[in-house]
Structure 1
Amino acid sequence: MATPIKTGLCSYGHSGSVFHAPFLHLHPGFTFEAIVERSKHETQKRYPYVTVYSSVEDMLKDDSLELIVVNTPNYSHYEYTKAALLAGKNVVVEKPFTVTTAEGEELVQLAKEKNLMISVYQNRRYDSDYRMIKKVVEEGLLGDILEVEFHYDRFKEELSYKAHKEVAQKGTGVLYDLGSHIIDQALTLFGMPTSVFGDVRMIRTNSVVDDYFELLLYYPNLRVRVKSNYLVREALPAYILHGRKGSFIKHKADIQEAMLLKGLLPEGKDWGAEQPHEWGLLHTDSNGEVVKKYLPSVPGSYMDYYQGIYEALREGKPNPVPAEQGLNVIRVIEAGFKSSEERRVIDL
């Protein structure tokens, strides 16, 4: 294997400890070199070999680092990604890529000028649920897809303990937070829509950020609804697809985050595998015969994202989630807000 990619992580909160550090620790193509922790040194309890910096600015002065993971609050993605690029580093930036399309376009241009890579960490592409949906669509099991619904719901009346998520500023709220995941999934499957209609609301008591949205994405022969609501006690299926030949219904069941929260490392043949009772229901026509059965799910693997980053930087293979794709998600989010405010369909 080529020289490992020396990597620095901007934060060791939920995102850093669950979605990044375990993978950087395990993947032989990376060395988890550095992290920013301003007061607590929690990282070193589990990764004692990591160098701890008190600020992102100090970490970026480390000339040995080749890759920086920007996993800070949404509003700071632009600032820290730009600083990392100016310091000559490749960047993995958490979703949402930026808060505005203007910020994203500037970063894309800067990366091109510097001949550096920006990749957006869209980990839900690597969930077992979504991988199964992708397989059903790509194998044509439903025929032409006509109508799709993606749900990402929660039941949580209380405000988040993460204070930065509950501040009334651009980049906060459920459309940027959870919407980034399911919009990205829709765009990955079906491409950019021609237009968007949005309904964005605040429904929790005392909330000052949006915690409900429904976007309708228009395609020439397809309609895709992406929805999230923080007050759904009885969850609907996360994925509902109707095609000319049949339907596929799938609940959200990826187990990776729950396993990572228990402190388990992402390894072993059963990692990311769903139990049979979580499989999706296929009801379709196969060679003139009606078929109704549960399909075994494809295991999820967030490690595949980091394998993609390794291959992009060391083997010249495609970036697994190019910045341009992250930018398209922001374009749809901005159109959703504009549509909701003006109560009209927004053409893209």
Structure 2
Amino acid sequence: MDIEQAQTLWQPEPGWLNTASYGLPPEPAWTALQAALADWRVGRTSWESWDGATQRSRAAFARLIGVPVADVTIGATASQLLAPVAAALPAGATVVVPEVEFTSNLFPWLAQEPRGVHVRTVPLDKLADSVDADTDLVAFSLVQSSDGTVAAYEEIVAAARAHGALVAVDATQACGWLPFDGTRADVVVVGAYKWLMAPRGASFAYLAPALRDRLRPDAANWYAGVDPHTSYYGPPLRLAEDARRFDISPAWFSYVGAAPALELVAEIGLSAIHAHDVALANRFLVGLGRPPGDSAIVTVEVPGAQERLERAGVRAAVRAGRVRASFHVYSTEADVDLALDALTS
């Protein structure tokens, strides 16, 4: 399916340039969710039919980042999925994080400071050079929420490996438009409600097998059982041997909407989405006299920008005092030109 064919599956109002805040559902996801809600309203079906979407979503996510499905756990938020990793750090461990990191990939590490974990923040462009023999874990967003900067993934991973440090990546602002190899990291967490265009409440994590052996499943529950259907009552503890041991019981309807959305992203192809998104972002930048970049998220400083965009019906965001525009598969050149007209008139 090419981009032009895919765009018929969305119905955005003109001027939506804010996927970095939340993505818009494609028609298959919207339809599946409405059907599930209708069944829920009248008690027409059992929950098992909804739960099938959880397993489809897990498998689709694994394909998108190139990892084994057995290494993927599901949850509700990125920070919740990082929590067992943070809790497993030994007292005295050092975590290196970018200075302007989104707090879902910062607070879990800072919360461990009372027991002796040290968090050191450095400029993002100095992150690889800041990894040293005292570093136990490097945590960073693959794409920065504040301004769309794409991290030097391979360079940072190489520096971490050279010093025996773990790598924890928040790919929430990347997964869905930026192709990358998830197996290069030890942990990859993704909130699926942005570029994967799922309902909020569906999140995924890749947990490398060697790392999982260090983690304790503090949120152990029936859904993390080796067989959830025989894990409803009573001891002994009987958790899955793979990454499912870290699952939490899913918000059913979030995954009902997630499965078709993730499968559609895979059908269109990340390479095609990446080319489309970055081309539109660069059309926007060049139209404002800025040099082109490599991200689907861009930030600009234009006097009165927020008010100008609002008057034109363009929905973007303001982050760190700058207008942030983000472009995805359903975005068009007309959306870009609407924003440019507002900002340059």
Of Structure 1 and Structure 2, the greater helix share is in: 2
Same fold (TM over 0.5): no
Which one has more relative contact order, counting CA pairs under 8 Å at least 6 apart?
Answer: 2
Q: Please give the TM-score of this superposition, normalised by the length of structure 1.
A: 0.31
Q: Please give the TM-score of this superposition, normalised by the length of structure 2.
A: 0.32
Of Structure 1 and Structure 2, the greater strand share is in: 1
